[in-house]
Chain A
Amino acid sequence: MTTGLNWPATLVFIFFFFLVAIVGFLSARLHPADLNNLSEWGLGGRRFGVVITWFLLGGDFYTAYTIIAFPAFVYGAGAIAFYALPYAILIYPFFFVVMPRLWLVCKRRNYLTLADFTMGRYGSRSLALAVAVTGILATVPYIALQLIGMQVTISALGVHGAAWLNDLPLAIAFIVLAAFAYTSGLRAPASIAFLKDTMVYIFVVAAVIWIPLKFGGFGHVLRKAGDVLAARPVPAALILPHDQFLPFATLAIGSALAVFLYPHAATGVLSASSSSALRVNASLLPIYTLLLGFLGLLGYIAIAADIHVQSTDDVLPLLVLKAFPSWFAGFCLAAVAIGALVPAAIMAIAASNLFTRNIYREYLRPLASAGDESAMAKSASVVIILSSLLFVIFGNRSYAIVLQLLGGVWIMQTLPTILVGLFVRWFDPKALISGWFAGMVSGTGMVWSQGLRSAVYPMRIGGTTLASYAAIDSVLINLIVAAGLTVVLKSLGVSDVQDETLPADYGESVACPASGK
């Protein structure tokens, strides 16, 4: 049947996996409510306090694929990969300023998605549709990447057999996921996020203390990794070289700006119980960034530990298996696999919310009742999860990675609408659509020109070549088009100024003037 299955690791893995699945099913009982209402199913009734929000957003950003891909990227590329650390720090000052504002307006106007906000703020169905479609396009490959993360951990356990046998555990895991997302909605990832993160923290802390000791201490490990990187056919470095300063900085800032435009991040934010829960979380969430930094260092440790791989995705699982006793390796790999369930569930729920609210209700069935909406969203989540499962089993893994790369560039094109729109209602909606279109086309073109392998685009200006993140370049084009057209439309006096939100909707205490704050 199978050869070389690591039994102790596999048994521990199965035990933790099913423990978490049971918690996922029981979670409909967390803050029980009527799940036939979309804000209950899709946003957990906006009832999550500081702690649950912390786990939910942590599970949202630091996904299974992050845990696999970041050490793999460090292993393969050296210092440039560490842009992820400034990125995961620079998210939060921005989060602190922007997200409470978003939460307030969405709560007061009962918006469930960023496209709902767009519709209310700009009164433009086509702009809201553009935001919804971009969100869904960017999210689905992200779900597929979570499956790939899980696939990598399962194959590390030694499950190698007939093709159908290889994919069976993955299929079981994702049918479980689809079932509990269907029954419990956002409550499911919220309750398993706690278990998953506890396991990931135990794994990473153990890895960071134990593994460097085993391989001769951090100083030794990094010196050795530096030597190996420098001697590679395509040399890489431990310290960032000058010509990578601009790619590093634009990747860090661009990713930090784009992350909250993703539907799953918005879903996590909107499910919080108050804007102050979000402000407190802005200073608590960076704790996950420390974890991320340690994971990155594991990439160097893998180099020093003479881990050799065909696909860099296998770096972390192989390091874990080499450094730890099998039972603990099973625990660590289970942590990673469960780490895939939380973000995949949130992403599927977020994409279903978008589909239901902004495509189904807006275009297909305008008279849908609350019950119809909720039923539609539940079925949509199952369709989304199963189609990404089929995509990973029958499609090519590299398509998911390319689409996710493009997804980051695409989602950035909603920045002028959402982020600028949260602060000023200046842009004209038609101008925003034109800018969005220009950004989508130019951004896709830039990544295409790099053979779909990299989102770092070498722009030639005058005689010099400046390499930077295509999301930043294309969103600048987007902003220039949108601003230029807005000025023209305004000067012609035909600019659309419809806006159902009020300035008071965005403020902290204005809504309750009697509170004396």
Chain B
Amino acid sequence: MTITRSRARRKRVWYLLLLLPYVGLLWLPFYARAEPGLWGLPFFYWYQFMWVFITIGLIALVNWRSQ
């Protein structure tokens, strides 16, 4: 019982990764800027696009590790 419960808790720790997109995208003073640009896109825009990929990766990772 205790073994399964601590294992469940260890799996649950992976869920904390899901908080990262909220920090990354709500922390506006960090990314509301023009430089550095990428392919003509100001930082403000490509940073948001980048988080789409990071979020996909994080959710897939948590889904895999928490099974």
Residues of A within 8 A of B (CB): 79, 82, 85-86, 89-90, 92-93, 96-97, 217-222, 238-242, 245, 248-249, 252-253, 279-280, 282-284, 286-287, 289-290, 293, 297
Q: List 24 A-B contacts (CB under 8 A).
A: A82-B44, A86-B25, A86-B51, A89-B21, A92-B59, A93-B59, A96-B59, A96-B62, A218-B39, A238-B42, A238-B44, A239-B32, A239-B34, A240-B28, A249-B28, A252-B25, A253-B22, A282-B63, A283-B56, A283-B63, A286-B52, A286-B56, A287-B56, A293-B48
Kindly state the separation between the CA atoms of A220 and B40 in the bound complex, as whole angstroms: 8
Q: Are A90 and B25 in contact (CB under 8 A)?
A: yes
Residues in B neighbouring A289, C-beta threshold 8 A: 52
Looking at the assembled complex, report how far the CB atom of B18 sits from the nearest CB atom of chain A, in whole angstroms: 4
Q: Are B28 and A245 in contact (CB under 8 A)?
A: yes
A-B contacts counted at CB < 8 A amount to: 94
Q: Assuming the A-B contacts A93-B59, A96-B18, A283-B56, are A239 and B26 also in contact, with contact meaning beta carbons closer than 8 angstroms in the complex?
A: no
Kindly state the separation between the CA atoms of A69 and B48 in the bound complex, as whole angstroms: 20
In the assembled complex, B13 has its CB within 8 A of some CB on chain A: no
Apart from A218-B41, A219-B40, A239-B32, what are 6 other A-B pairs with CB-CB below 8 Å?
A92-B55, A92-B59, A96-B63, A238-B42, A289-B52, A290-B49
Residues in B neighbouring A93, C-beta threshold 8 A: 18-19, 21-22, 55, 58-59
Instruction: Give the size category of B's interface with A.
Output: 20 to 34
Q: Are B28 and A90 in contact (CB under 8 A)?
A: no
Q: Are A217 and B40 in contact (CB under 8 A)?
A: yes
Q: Are B51 and A222 in contact (CB under 8 A)?
A: no
Residues in A neighbouring B55, C-beta threshold 8 A: 89, 92-93, 286
Report which of A82, A219, A283 forms a contact with B59, defined as CB distance below 8 A. Answer: A283
Residues in B neighbouring A245, C-beta threshold 8 A: 28-29, 32
Chain A at the B interface: SS class: helix
Q: Are B28 and A85 in contact (CB under 8 A)?
A: no
Kindly state the separation between the CA atoms of A245 and B26 in the bound complex, as whole angstroms: 9
Q: Are B18 and A240 in contact (CB under 8 A)?
A: no
Looking at the assembled complex, report how far the CB atom of A297 sits from the nearest CB atom of chain B, in whole angstroms: 7
Report which of B25, B41, B63 forms a contact with A280, defined as CB distance below 8 A. Answer: B63
Residues in A neighbouring B52, C-beta threshold 8 A: 85, 89, 286, 289-290, 293
In the assembled complex, B33 has its CB within 8 A of some CB on chain A: yes
Kindly state the separation between the CA atoms of A498 and B37 in the bound complex, as whole angstroms: 57
Residues in A neighbouring B25, C-beta threshold 8 A: 86, 89-90, 252
Residues in B neighbouring A283, C-beta threshold 8 A: 56-57, 59-60, 63
Residues in A neighbouring B51, C-beta threshold 8 A: 86, 89
Looking at the assembled complex, report how far the CB atom of A140 sits from the nearest CB atom of chain B, in whole angstroms: 31
Q: Assuming the A-B contacts A85-B48, A283-B56, A287-B56, are A222 and B42 also in contact, with contact meaning beta carbons closer than 8 angstroms in the complex?
A: yes
1/0 contact string of B42-54 vs chain A (CB within 8 Å): 1011001101100
Looking at the assembled complex, report how far the CB atom of B42 sits from the nearest CB atom of chain A, in whole angstroms: 6
Which of chain B's residues has its CB closest to A248's CB? Answer: B28
Residues in B neighbouring A284, C-beta threshold 8 A: 56
Kindly state the separation between the CA atoms of A501 and B2 in the bound complex, as whole angstroms: 26
Q: Are B26 and A252 in contact (CB under 8 A)?
A: yes
Residues in A neighbouring B15, C-beta threshold 8 A: 97
Looking at the assembled complex, report how far the CB atom of A380 sits from the nearest CB atom of chain B, in whole angstroms: 36
Looking at the assembled complex, report how far the CB atom of B38 sits from the nearest CB atom of chain A, in whole angstroms: 10
Residues in B neighbouring A241, C-beta threshold 8 A: 32
Which of chain B's residues has its CB closest to A82's CB? Answer: B48
